Amino acid sequence: MSGPVKIALVGLGWWGQKMLSVLQAAPDDIRVVHAVEPNTDTVSALCASKGVVLSKDYADALNDPEVEAVVLATPHSLHTGQIAQAVAAGKNVFCEKPLALTAAEAARSVDLCRRAGLVLGMGHERRFEPPVADMLARADAGKLGRIHQIEANFSHDKFVTIDRDNWRVKATEAPAGGMTATGIHLLDLSVRLLGRAESVLCICEQLSSDLPQGDTVAAYVKFAGGGTSYVSASLANPFMSRFTVYGSKGWIDIRDKAHVEAPAGWVVTSAMAGGPIETVEIGKAEPVKDNLVAFARAVRGQAEYPITGEHLVNNIALLEAVFASARSGQIEKVAHPVAAAVEA
């Protein structure tokens, strides 16, 4: 097939509306033709203004012959079932993070899509931020040498004032503070750079809010191939996002100027062995759009989607261990029976 990939956007809350907005800038690659939202009254005018069919029922989108792929911006616990339904209907899938809440469910979804020959995209837009993409390319090329350590924080206070009935602040949907909201991106980049995690110690506390899952979380991860990552996140302090990687030949520190909801560019400080510390500013980009475009191009067979099944499963295996450690207060091992199977 040719032309833009026609998608159904499932879930038109805060983030679903963000994706609907940014995709207007990619009409040649991807186009929203159907939307699913149980609360149709809140978005009916928005969908009508964009010429998008609106349904309350997910099945309507799956039965729509025009829809080639679904984009899931839905509660975390629904992802596994919704992916299975999409695969059964022959639809490609782009899923907001996290893919699942357990490694077994993540492996099941990856395997279903692989066996059906369908693309599984993931809302890890941090990989598509220009300075992060450059950092990953430099690491892959060996320019940073042996990666030793990662330090990262991704915090915001957007959830402090939302209704406590919202699924985003329920401990059952989002355990361990901000780990599923923001920290998951940092775990993903850590796994991308250092491979499969071996163990993790996580501390999650409720320090200055009534958020039931806690508002402040820190995880210290040891990787099977050596190296460590310290990931922290708060849901109760003003926006902050930084990712720093240290290698034997150099280090790079990337700081966002604003939340990815409305990106304003980045400040990148780095030093290579024997050279000076340098700071540069990177202009605005729209990584949410760029990730979805990469997904659409993979659906069209124009390029491989860069986030592999192995990355996806290893990330959720680490996330599951983070949850366990937050409950126990102890170092927890990361399960690893699934990474090889998903690439077979």
Task: Quote the pLDDT of residue 163.
Answer: 83
Mean pLDDT of 244-268: 96
pLDDT in the model for residue 274? 96
Tokens 């995880």 locate to: 219
Question: Which tens digit of pLDDT belongs to each residue from 57-102?
Answer: 999 999 999 999 999 999 999 999 999 999 999 999 999 999 999 9
340: three-class secondary structure by DSSP? helix
Same fold, 5-123 and 126-342: no
Dist. CA 259–CA 241, nearest whole Å: 8
Question: Which range among 29-43, 215-229, 329-343 shows the weakest confidence by mean pLDDT?
Answer: 329-343
Which residues make Cβ contacts (< 8 Å) with residue 279, sequence separation at least 6? 267, 268, 269
Q: How high is the pLDDT of residue 91?
A: 98
Rounded to an integer, what distance in angstroms lies between the CA atom of residue 159 and that of residue 174? 12
CATH number assigned to the domain covering 126-342: 3.30.360.10
Decide if 240 contacts 153 (C-beta within 8 A).
yes
Give me the residue spans of the domains in the chain: 5-123, 126-342
Q: What is the pTM of this model?
A: 0.94
Please give the pLDDT value at position 342: 52
> Of 134-148, 162-176, 295-309, which gets the smallest average pLDDT?
162-176
pLDDT band (50, 70, 90) for residue 337? low
Q: Is the pLDDT at 231 greater than 50, yes or no?
A: yes
* Residue linked to tokens 């509306």: 17
User: Would you give the distance in Å from CA 146 to the centre of its chain?
Assistant: 25
Pick the CATH number of 5-123 from 2.60.210.10, 3.40.630.40, 3.40.50.720, 3.40.50.2020: 3.40.50.720
Contact 344, 331 (CB under 8 A): no
Phi, psi of 234 (to 5 degrees): -125, 145
